[in-house]
Every structure is written in C-alpha cells, then in structure tokens.
Structure 1
Amino acid sequence: MPDLKTTPLYDYYRSHDAKLIDFGGFLLPVQITGIKNEHDAVRNAAGIFDVSHMGEFLVYGEEAENFLQKMVTNDVSKARPGDALYTAMCYENGGTVDDLLIYCLNQNKYRLVVNAANIEKDFNWLSEHASKKLKLINQSDKIALLAVQGPLAMSIVQKITNYDLSTIKHFKFADQIPLENVTCLVSRTGYTGEDGLEIYCSWEKATTLWNALLTAGEANGLIPCGLGARDTLRFEARPPLYGQELSAAITPLEAGIGFAVKTGKTEDFIGRAVLKQQKDNGLTRKIIGLEMIDRAIPRAHYSVYAGDTKVGEVTTGTQSPTLGKNLGLALVATEWTKLGTVLDVVIRGKRKKAKVVKTPFYKRS
C-alpha cells in the first residue's frame, strides 16, 4: 500500500504482527493482540493508542479568537489558557464539516485537533475564511499523539514524570510537561468512556515515549491497542464518529452534541441560523440507541423501519464487548425515538426487531 501514510509506530506494528488497514489514508492497526482483549484492558486496567494520524493546526494572531468564534459552534470566548474545548464546524446548512478539540494556548494562540480523514478539507475550509492577519499552520506531520486510557492510566503515566498529573482536571491540559525527558502537551481527554490522557509530542520522539509508557505500565496491565478497540470503546460511551454519526448531511444537534452548540453566543457563526431553527422548532430526526431483541447485529447503513415506513438508518452497530448485547446507533425520525419503541432493522433482507434504549450504553459509575 505505497500511497498510504504511516505514523512513527509503523515499525512497531510490523514487528508485532499487527493487523493493518487503511484508515483516513493511513496504514494503521485495527488490532494488535485482539479487539476484545484490548477493549477489556481499557475497561479494567489501561490501554495505549497511537492516534498520530489525527490532524493538528495552529491558529494564532490578534484575530484568532474572533476567527474561531465565527468558524465553530461552541463559545471560544469562554476558553482560558489550559482549557480544551470540544466543538464542531458547520456548513451554512448546518451540516457538519468536522468535530474537533480546540486547545487554548493563550487568547491569541490555539491548537486545533481534527479527524485524520478531514485534515485537508478542514485546513482548506479554515483557510478560505481566514483573514491575511491570521496565521494558520498545518502541523499534522510534525506532531504525534498517544492516548493512555483506562482506570489505571493516570497512575501509569505518573511513573515517568515528576509533574503532578492529578492537577490536570477533565478537559484541561498542561504544556511543556517532561515525560521520560520528552516534552509534551498533556491533556485530560479521551474517546473511550474512561479516564485518561492524550499526549502530544514531536513526531521524532513518539517511539521513545511509546516504549517508556509500555515499560511503565507493564506491571499494571497496560497493552497497546488498535482502531478496533478504540471504536468499540467509543461506541459504548457514545461520542459521535465523523462519517457515521456526524457528516455534511447530519447536524451536531441531530448527532446529540447540542452541549457544544451555543446558538446564544454573541458572535455569529457559520450554520448558526439553521441550528437555532432546529433548537427552537425541535428536531425532525436524531441519533438514538437501539438494542436488538432478535438475534442479529445491526451494522452501519442498515435501514430502520416502523411498520412499512422507513424511518431511519443505523450509523454504527456491533456486539458490545462490555455488555454482551447487540447494539446500534441510528439516525431516526423523532416521532419514533421514545424509549422502549420497537422498530425493525433490515439485516440481510430480513426484518429483525430492536427497541429504543438510553445512551450512552456504558458509563463508568
């Protein structure tokens, strides 16, 4: 696969017989020791993920805050240095360009972290709307990202630094932190439904840091994990996945991330009018959880019916490793989204019954 990009951990994957796939233009592991094994490690101990395929942009200049206020749905003016802000970018019709994290380095300087498959599209979209006074730099090929997730994640990473990581609260970060002599930005964020850290370092130092973290966590059950477990963990915890629960045809409100849409903020933003209308008038469709009643697994793009009427489509589905149930997320007409409603999912030409259930499917108590 000569046209695919690789991360700094490619040699590690090859030497450990990881199963590699094309994901967002990168050659990445879907699994290393097995999806269920990796999933269970994160739920019960800790797992480490190489997510260096994610994109990173630097936005800075006196107009940086105002620019981002115009481009994203959340209220950037509320972010202070050390804050990580989850948000979305939208088209004029309310459809989603991408969902992303914004790190406030200072009031004139921000780091944006975007989805791998959207790097070029997002950078072009931002560039089209940026003034000449603003600096916008794509740093995606210079910054690596490792995520350590799970109930033991914090104590494991603490072993390789003198910095008190417990001082970093959820959706906060600290910059210029030494981890095993590697200078990092350390963020109390993640994508798995567990506590943990996302760690940004230079591309060249990623393998050194990866090995140091694996050594530090060896006695605590830390194992390397691939994209398969990352997705099953994400699915159970309910964050949306771009291209499935979010897309140019699905708004952030329909996807269930209304907490990141601030239509009442002072500054106007792209897509605001449509999103405000959806908030004021109510949604005609939204993402809901499904639990199969019949024995079958729902998969993305399977049709959902109420009687003879198609009312929606599955966006993600699998057998939950944690719960042992066949579950799905689906974009469904609002009148069919009441908890307990029984719907049909068309699986290989046959209708299989499912019921609407509460999400997230998993939440650590």
Structure 2
Amino acid sequence: MPDLKTTPLYDFYKKQSAKLIDFGGYLLPVQISGIKQEHHAVRTAAGIFDVSHMGEFLVRGDHAAQFLQMMVTNDISKAQPGDAIYTAMCYENGGTVDDLLVYCLSENHYQLVVNAANIKKDFLWISDHAPQQVILTDQSDKTALLAVQGPRALDIVQKITDFELSTIKHFKFVENVPLGGIPCLVSRTGYTGEDGLEIYCAWEKAPQIWAALLIAGEKDGLIPCGLGARDTLRFEARLPLYGQELSPEITPLEAGIGFAVKTQKSENFIGKSALINQKADGLKRKIVGIEMIDRAIPRTHYSVYAEATKIGEITTGTQSPTLGKNLGLALIDSNWTKTGTIVEVDIRGKRKKAKVIKTPFYKKS
C-alpha cells in the first residue's frame, strides 16, 4: 500500500501476519489474533494497543491558556499541571472540528492529542487562529503512543517501573515516568471503557517498551490488539468516534458529549453562540442506543425509520462481543429517542425492528 505511513511497530505486525488496513493515512492492524479474542482480553485481563497514529501538538507561549479557552468547548482555565481534559473544537455553526485531549504540562504549555485523520486539518485550524505570542508545534511524527487497557493493566505496567502508578488518578498524568528505563508521559486515560494507561514516548523507543510490556504481561493475559477491538470496545462504552458520532455536521451536544461543552464559561469560544442556541431551542436530533429486536446487525449509515418516515441513521453498529446483542448508535429525530421506543432499521431494503435503549451498553463493574 504506497504512500501510507507506518508506526514504529510495523515490523512486529509483519512478523505476526496481522491484517493491515489504511486508517487515517497509516498502515495499521485491524486485528492481530482476532477481534473477539482481543476484545475479551481487554474486558477480562489486558490488551496493548499501538495508537502512534494519533496526533500530538504542543501549544506554548504567553496567552496559550487564554488562546485554548477560545478554541475548545471545555473549561481549561482551572487546569493544573498533570490534568488531562477531554474536549471538542467546533466551527462557528457548532459542528465539530475534532474531539481531543488537552494535557496541561505547565503554565501556558499544553499538549493536544487529536485524531489521526484530522492532524493536518486540526493543525491548520489552530494555526489560522493562533496569535503571534502562541507557538504551535506538531510533534506527531516524533511521538509514539501505546495504550495498555483492562483490569490488569496497571499491575502489568507496574512490573517495568519503580514509579507507583496507582498514584496517577483518572484523567491525570505524570511526565518522565521511567518504563524499562525510558522516560515516558503516562496518563490514566483510555478509549475502551476499562481502566488503563496511555503511554507517550519517543517514536524510536516504542518497540522496546512494547516488547517489555508483552513480556511483563505474558502470564497475566496481556495480548496485542488492533483497531477492530478498539472500535468494539469504545462502542460498547458509548465513546464517540470522529467521522461517525462526531463530524462537521454533528455538534457535541447532538453526539452526547455535552459534559465537555461549558457554555457558561466567559470566553466566547468558537461555536459558543450556536451551541447556546441549540441548547435553548432543544435538540432536534441526538444520538441514542438501539437494540435489534429482529435478527439483523445495524451498520453505519443504515437508515432508521419510525411510522414509515425516515428519522435518522446508524452511526455505528455491530454485534457486541461482551453482551452478544446486535446493537447500534443512531442519530435520530429527538421525538423518537425515549427509552423503549420502537423503530425500524433499513437493512438491505428490508425494515427490521429495534428499540431505543439506555447507553452506555457496557460499564465496568
């Protein structure tokens, strides 16, 4: 596959005969041992993911904090060094530029972690709005990112460091944690609905850390995982995927991440007026969970109907590996979003019954 970038773990994938696909311009594994096996490993033990395709930007300089307050929907004014904040960036009309994490490294010094397919777009968007005092640097090609997720994740990573990882609370991080002697930024975050850590390191050091973790976790059930399991895991936990639950046409409020939209903050962030108006007028559509009643699997972009009228479409759908049910997330007319409402999904020209259910589909016990 020409013109595709590879991550530092590419040689590992070739040796494992992993099934590789184009994702965000990178050649990445959709599965290594099998999606269901990888999914269940994360739910019951631990999985390790190479997510080095994600983008990392550094934002620093006088007024960097003030600038980011104007760019993102969440309130970062009270962020302290060591805080990780989930947020979105919006267009003036409230549509979503991207969802991202903001890491407060120090006063007026931040790291942004953006979606791989949006790296160029996001960097240009932020650059176009940045004042001269703010310095923006794209570190994506220098930074590798590994995620160890699952109930045994912390115990496994603990085996290769003297730093007490349990002291890192959820949505907090610590810099220069030595993992196998290699300094890393370690964050108590993830995209699976399980506890775990995300590990940022120098690009060329990732294979060494990856190998050390696989050895450390061998007896604890740790296995390498691909994008397929990452998608089913995040789906069960109702974590949005940009391009499906979020897009320039879908606002953060419609997507169900209103907790990351602070319209009460004083700064007039981009999209604030549109989101205030949308909230005041009441959402005309929103994303809900559905469970199929008829035997069928809903898939992305399948149309959803109620009383012979199209009311929206599936954004993500699959058979849940954890629950064994055919489930979907659907962006539909708000009049039909009450739990228990019966709808129909058009599956290859045939209408199949489904019902609206509560999300997330899965919560760790």
Match status 1:61 vs 2:61:
yes
SS at match of 1:3: coil
Q: Deviations over 1:150-173 (max 9, x none)?
A: 000000000000000000000000
Match status 1:22 vs 2:22:
yes
Q: Deviations over 1:303-324 (max 9, x none)?
A: 0000121001000000000000
Q: Which residue pairs with 1:163 in the alignment?
A: 163
- Give, in angstroms, the shift of residue 280 of structure 1: 1.9
**Quick one: distance in 2 between partners of 1:19 and 1:38?**
13
Q: Deviations over 1:176-221 (max 9, x none)?
A: 1100011100000000000000000000100000000000000100
Q: Which residue pairs with 2:336 in the alignment?
A: 336
SS at match of 1:11: helix
SS at match of 2:36: helix
**Quick one: distance in 2 between partners of 1:280 and 1:107?**
35
**Quick one: distance in 2 between partners of 1:281 and 1:106?**
39
- Give, in angstroms, the shift of residue 133 of structure 1: 1.1
Match status 1:185 vs 2:185:
yes
- Give, in angstroms, the shift of residue 101 of structure 1: 0.2
| Matching residue's letter, 2:232 | T
- Give, in angstroms, the shift of residue 62 of structure 1: 1.2
SS at match of 1:52: coil
**Quick one: distance in 1 between partners of 2:15 and 2:2?**
19
**Quick one: distance in 2 between partners of 1:357 and 1:104?**
37
Q: Which residue pairs with 1:154 in the alignment?
A: 154
**Quick one: distance in 1 between partners of 2:107 and 2:289?**
39
**Quick one: distance in 2 between partners of 1:234 and 1:108?**
31
- In percent, how many aligned pairs have the same letter? 75
Q: Which residue pairs with 2:36 in the alignment?
A: 36
Q: Which residue pairs with 1:327 in the alignment?
A: 327
SS at match of 2:249: coil
**Quick one: distance in 1 between partners of 2:48 and 2:355?**
34
Q: Which residue pairs with 1:352 in the alignment?
A: 352
Q: Which residue pairs with 1:294 in the alignment?
A: 294
Displaced runs of 4+ in structure 1, greater than 6 A?
Answer: none
**Quick one: distance in 2 between partners of 1:340 and 1:358?**
9
| Matching residue's letter, 1:40 | H
Q: Deviations over 1:60-89 (max 9, x none)?
A: 001100110000000010211100000000
- Give, in angstroms, the shift of residue 277 of structure 1: 1.1
Q: Which residue pairs with 1:104 in the alignment?
A: 104
SS at match of 2:189: coil
SS at match of 1:78: coil
Q: Deviations over 1:92-147 (max 9, x none)?
A: 00000000000000121000000000000000000000011110000000000000
SS at match of 1:276: helix
Q: Which residue pairs with 2:227 in the alignment?
A: 227
- Give, in angstroms, the shift of residue 281 of structure 1: 2.2
TM-score normalised per structure 1: 1.00
- Give, in angstroms, the shift of residue 23 of structure 1: 0.3
Match status 1:313 vs 2:281:
no
Q: Which residue pairs with 2:73 in the alignment?
A: 73
| Matching residue's letter, 2:356 | V
Q: Which residue pairs with 1:89 in the alignment?
A: 89
Count of aligned pairs between the two proteins: 365
TM-score normalised per structure 2: 1.00
**Quick one: distance in 2 between partners of 1:308 and 1:350?**
12
| Matching residue's letter, 2:107 | Q
- Give, in angstroms, the shift of residue 235 of structure 1: 0.2
Q: Deviations over 1:317-351 (max 9, x none)?
A: 00000000000000000000000000000000000
